[in-house]
Amino acid sequence: MTSTYNEAWIEFCGKLGLEFELVCTDEIDISIDLNEVFLFKYFGAENGMLLFPDNTIIFHSSAAIIEKGYGYSVISAPVSSSSYDIQGMIEVLNDWEWTGPDSQKPEWIN
């Protein structure tokens, strides 16, 4: 079952046409207290940016995440799409930088 946190990010990606995955933590071999993690593809690191709702979840796994080619961020999910600052998140995505193919790069990425 997908968490409310991940569902909010799925909805956000749908609005901007961004690719994402819900990654099983066993598949990427990190020991955290979640079954699946939201992954922004093509942002932040070679394998994408993993999102977490709380820094205590990744406290002991941050080095392993980086070693496996992922970036990570502890960031709140929108409570509802109407209350979420899309422009602010676009700024965050620009800060993380695009790591995907140029042919798939969204127009709004600097």
> Once rounded to an integer, what is the mean pLDDT over residues 29-49?
86
With 80 as the cut, is the pLDDT of residue 104 above it? yes
The pLDDT tens digits for 41-96 are 999 999 999 998 888 777 778 888 899 999 999 998 866 655 567 888 889 999 99
User: Is 19 or 86 the better-scoring residue by pLDDT?
Assistant: 19
> Please, are residues 13 and 20 in contact by the beta-carbon 8 Å criterion?
yes
Contacts of 4 (CB under 8 A, 6+ apart): 77
Residue 51: the pLDDT is 92
> Once rounded to an integer, what is the mean pLDDT over residues 14-32?
83
